[in-house]
Chains A and B, each alone.
Chain A
């Protein structure tokens, strides 16, 4: 990179809670290092300064829920060399995709006093349903070390170490006692992608599946394990319908258990 201009980084927001963008701010000590190697060209959470495109790296947070956003994401794609989606909303539709399992108009009529002003798409969908995405960073929210890892890998021209295998591998490497086996606590670790360093089991709780399905998910087999733990069918549906409810492997099995 020496002597060259700093790559321009932009952060874009779609339907989301801003939590993933905050992970970038949360980098604190490392944030200075980030600004040392990239020019932050567009990051509304951090600064009002906007530098025009094109951008070398775009980080996209949030899902597509309105016709306006479905249009805007194409402009972001056109202005970006590398586009990375960050978080469960952008990669799977997010918690707001729970509405995909029902009729959005029913919700709108209950929630808003003047529903006629609301234009929302029938479904909350991931960015990759609309445009080609170069890399997906999972999590609700993303893990700041994974974000730094991806940015660092891109800047140094190497492969990012973002393993797509299960949370259980991280859980066992850190020596946590399995809450599923030792306590019968429902834990989504076996079907969920690693990335959080198995945070919840280390605090004696089951995994909530924030990072979405691992790359070889056997969700039907996992649901059978939950049945063995005496979970009722509606409990199993709820366990699978979190931040990544609309990710296909989770969605298919939750729909099967709903019947």
Chain B
């Protein structure tokens, strides 16, 4: 996590016409930039070099199980919410080599892969995503067992956050205090301000690296009115957020409703496809896969994203301990919203809404949680499902 070493955060104004100077300065610092680009009908995170690579003028319309892009006449830079990709694909890649082995006569040697140590910049990181990064930082690098591959990939990332102006219909960060305004964990945070006659970015520094970058840009110090205009953008965004999750006593409620028949109603719709876990920026589960060449001379061990929605995930000797979709959905939701607290001392959900939008069946965890919360708690005999 970048440390705020600047004595005071500074706030500047950068005209949209000068946006490329920011990208150039970042690249001159040796970072390759990844950020939002248009691809196959969605806004994904991929490499970009020019401001024109950004989805200029595009909005998104998101609903449970549906995502559509809409082109507008305005030249907005960041007028959309998060898409199907998250930053975990860079820091905790879907498939990652752990080690390789080579047979030499009747012995073998083990080779560790060259650990990547790329200098990357993430552009357009939203507040909910900063919280997701903080969750992964904690899980992978805090405690007795460090994920070295993650640590190395993470250490030199420059983060340019963007405060949200256009939350989607599936966003609910306001319920979890994770957005829409970035409050820390960034090098720079931008707010896009578009009023009649004005189109510029308010840039807030969050680290020495961020301050250093600003010193090389054609910026001016923000006036009080500029700062107020930026604050208006994020407070208006917060008001647009419709979805919510009531976190009050949620852990206890979910414990009590462990055997509620409502789980069965969700399971009737759930396809056990695993999309929700793949798109979730905090889901981190992986499996380890060993492969060999035909001759057995060479073997590889890879880490691959896994999902608690598969039967194999909970396979132990003799079978899968979560054989029903009911038990898998319940595992997923209760881990996110309840047991994550026991495990890591925080909530496992940051309210980004991806699992709602990208669920083919349109299952909405906020809606399902609400239904469980509304039901009266009755002690019932269960068959132990």
Interface residues of A (CB under 8 A from B): 1, 30, 33-34, 36-37, 148-149, 151-153, 155-156, 158, 161, 163-166, 168-169, 172-178, 180-184, 187, 189-191, 204, 214-218, 220-222, 224-225, 228
Contact = CB atoms under 8 A, between A and B. Distances in A.
Given A176-B40, A178-B358, A221-B268, 11 more contacts: A165-B310, A166-B310, A169-B273, A172-B274, A177-B84, A181-B358, A181-B360, A221-B271, A222-B360, A224-B269, A225-B360
B307 A169 contact: yes
B301 to A, nearest CB: 11
Interface string B280-323: 00000000011111111000000011010111100000000000
Contact of B294 (A33, A165, A172): A33
A-B pairs, 4 with minimum CB distance: A172-B278, A190-B273, A173-B94, A165-B310
A214 to B, nearest CB: 8
Nearest to A185: B41
Interface in B38-92: 39-42, 44, 65-68, 84-85, 89
Contacts of A148: 294
B372 interface: no
A71 to B, nearest CB: 34
B142 to A, nearest CB: 26
Nearest to B295: A37
A168 B275 contact: yes
Nearest to B42: A177
B298 to A, nearest CB: 11
B67 A165 contact: no
B358 A173 contact: no
A156 B296 contact: yes
A158 to B, nearest CB: 7
Interface of B: 39-42, 44, 65-68, 84-85, 89, 94-95, 267-275, 278-279, 289-296, 304-305, 307, 309-312, 325, 328, 357-362
Given A177-B42, A225-B360, A152 B294 contact: yes
Contacts of B95: 173
B311 A216 contact: yes
Q: Which of B40, B66, B289 has the most CB of A within 10 A?
A: B40
Contacts of A178: 67, 84, 275, 358, 360
A152 B292 contact: yes
A162 to B, nearest CB: 11
18 contacts: A37-B294, A152-B294, A156-B296, A165-B309, A166-B310, A168-B360, A175-B44, A175-B85, A175-B89, A177-B41, A178-B67, A181-B359, A215-B311, A216-B309, A218-B269, A224-B269, A225-B362, A228-B362
